[in-house]
Amino acid sequence: VLVCSDDDEAKADVIKLAEAAGMRGIDAGPLANAVAVEALTPVLLYINKRYKVKGAGIRITGIEQDKA
């Protein structure tokens, strides 16, 4: 889960919520970055429809699990 916010405390809280739900929260920077993150949604929806899948997604690589 990519988390964007200008409030570091709020961002940390949301990352903890994502982790409590069994997902990995990744600090994706300031709120201004949310525009780019949200722009991925129509691309993923198109891929799911075009290839008749339900789980197309984006994978973030190169970040160690325990890095914050």
* pLDDT recorded at residue 65: 78
User: pLDDT (tens digit, 9 = 90+) per residue, 6-55?
Assistant: 999 999 999 999 999 999 999 999 999 999 999 999 999 999 999 999 99
- What is the secondary structure of 12-23 as a DSSP string? HHHHHHHHHTT-
> What are the CA-CA distances from residue 30 to residues 10, 19, 43, 57 (Å)?
12, 20, 22, 22
pLDDT at 66 over 80: no
* pLDDT recorded at residue 54: 92
